[in-house]
Amino acid sequence: MLTFFNPEHARHDAEFEIFRGQQVPAFERAERQERVAQRLRERGHELRVPHADAAAVLARLHAPRYLEFLAGAWSQWLALDPANAQRLPYASVWPVRSLRDDVEPDNFIARLGLYSMDNGQTVGPGTWQAGRAGADAAHSAALAVAGGVRAAFCLSRPPGHHAGPDFMGGYCFLNQAAVAAQTLRDAGAARVAVLDVDYHHGNGTQTLFYRRSDVYFASLHGDPRTEYPFFLGHADERGAGEGLGCNLNLPLPAGSAPEAWFHALEVALAQLAAWGADALVVSLGLDTAAEDPICRFGLTGDDFSRLGQRLAATGWPTVLVFEGGYANESLALNTVRVIEAFDTGARP
């Protein structure tokens, strides 16, 4: 499978995060992508550097002031105190419910809170550059598919599916799956389906397309009553306005077995087919693996091969976008299983 690699990803590599009230080593590290890339190369896969600039697509998806903040956040942080080069900023206040979010504060930490949905991880010196290169990789992969390639893989981090129009969170800053979907639409696909198989609901992707009828978002994920992101991903969220009926959430209880997961997958794929999708973007989160340290589904190696084969069987032109997965060794193996099973399943 044609694979586009984010060459700038390691410029964002926070050493720690806040997890369950404690400072712990970060789960989302550069090693994730490097392990996958190494395994793909060992298996003979070519990794290409992105060739297309996603700036125009990003400007259609994310709010201008949010993009401006991300682009300048680190320099603004350093301008407050040169010693800030040795520490990362963390939000401490958020504009919830009755508080206003239409006026951007002058205070940097307040602005960080304005554009954040959590404080699990934050911006660093290379976050913007890593995110932009990831968007370029997604854009390049989608252009390749729009040009006739059967499928392409965007191997990039930081991930993107929690990033919304004007907010970051869940390790995500720019929404690469949304970039791929919008690119396919701009290139002529009439109806683009986004299928999110990450353990966590893709709240950012849902929000971006919730009122649109040309992009259908379907997600199978841990029940948000107990699992991150908690405040979106329920089954009664079906879209709004022109997008009513173009959103499908299939929340599953933590600990669900593979067969329950694959049943949900079949429900989602059947709905996408009935809707009339003519292209597919997969938010390929692999944190559904049994050994993942922060998620609670039980998929094993053979299940990921099965997933790849099933995605190929849809027949849709497909862009796969790398999302979550934090057991690094099995993450690399399972990514290769999906990609190679897709390639095998896609053959006549």
Owner of token pair 């682009």 = 71
281 forms beta bridges with: 194, 319
The crossing angle, in degrees rounded to 10, of helices 127-146 and 64-80 is 150
Strands 2-5 and 47-48: parallel
Reply yes or no on whether 263 is catalytic: no
Q: In what order do the strands lie in the sheet with 318-322?
A: 47-48, 2-5, 151-155, 318-322, 279-284, 192-196, 215-222, 247-252
| Backbone φ and ψ of 38, nearest 5° | -60, -45
Give the type of residue at 14. A
Query: Considering 139, 162, 200, 221, which one is annotated as catalytic?
Result: 162
Spell 139-172 as b/e; 16+ CB within 10 A means b: bbbbbbbbeebbbbbbbbbbbbbbbbebbbbbbb
List, by residue number, the catalytic residues.
162
